[in-house]
Structure 1
């Protein structure tokens, strides 16, 4: 049984790791961090940087930061009781798609992810990584609600 845990450093993804550790203590897990290249292109476009840019140094920095983030998440997963290793992907077009592809590659038994707590119309307009993973994964997905979701219902 291999569990794939999506980790982006947010409080929600930390909560997802903690919950997975409580629920699935001792299980094999891969903690995945993904850098979405489209986000960087969007930032460049917003800044008016349309001309081609040599991105070698930038790519190396992104690769290192994504690796560090995944290793941080794997460390948290080990502390939570999972037998975890880190994995990072830094050239993704869409985070949700990369999560689904890696789950397929690993033949993950379960995907664990947090959520930002978007609901209703906001979720329909913006979409969310967890929602897209849930609808495209073709395997069980555990979405751990954010602290905000829990507080809203109380």
Structure 2
């Protein structure tokens, strides 16, 4: 697959909407649906030798399985809408999700990065940051941020 579209996916309605819009705008395009997960490795490092460590490893393995299912769900949704999509999971110890998205886009030589947006603003956006804003400011690749359906409706109503 050469120069696919990279679609960030977390299973949210906003991410599903981003897949739908990508399929509408780029029918039949090749895509990679990426779920970025933060493994529990950093916590595990503090528990070396502790009996709870084995339980933590078991939980992390289960969350990885869930991450793979989530990425597969996104890719399946994209394929149902006509995209040639494959799932991908990125484990991002010590990284933020936006960095993982940019890193995978570079690795794939993605032609476009697509993200959904919840439209956070005010104090919440300042404190938590916005994945889409961080990606836009961290990459030189074309990036399409698709607003959620409620956000788009609110913006139309404010005109």
Distance 1:27 1:120 in 2: 36
Residue 91 of structure 2 corresponds to residue 90 of structure 1: yes
- Residue of structure 2 equivalent to 1:134: 136
The answer to which of 3-12 and 85-94 deviates more is 85-94
Alignment partner, residue 9 of structure 2? 7
Q: Between Structure 1 and Structure 2, how many residues are aligned?
A: 146
- The match for 2:77 is 76
User: Paired residue for 1:17?
Assistant: 19
**TM-score, normalised with respect to structure 1:** 0.86
Q: Which runs of 5+ in 2 are unaligned?
A: none
Structure 2 CA distance for aligned equivalents of residues 84 and 25 of structure 1:
12
Equivalents in 2 of 1:122, 1:61: separation in Å?
30
Map residues 1-154 of structure 1 onto 2, 5 A cutoff: 1-37=3-39, 51=47, 53-54=53-54, 55-92=56-93, 93-153=95-155, 154=157
How far is the alpha carbon of 1:126 from its aligned partner?
Answer: 2.3
**Partner SS, residue 31 of structure 1:** strand
RMSD between aligned residues: 2.0
Structure of greater Rg: 2
Task: Give the Cα separation in 2 of the matches to 1:19 and 1:35.
Answer: 24
Q: How far apart are the structure 1 equivalents of 2:136 and 2:38?
A: 19
The two structures have a TM-score, normalised by structure 2, of: 0.83
| Partners of 1:132 and 1:73 in 2: CA distance | 22
CA contact (8 A) 1:117 1:148 kept: no
1:127 CA displacement? 0.9
CA distance in 2, matches of 1:26, 1:64: 28
Contact 2:36–2:90 (CA under 8 A) maintained in structure 1: yes
**Structure 1, unaligned runs of 5 or more:** 42-49
Q: Is the Cα contact below 8 Å between 1:66 and 1:90 reproduced in 2?
A: no
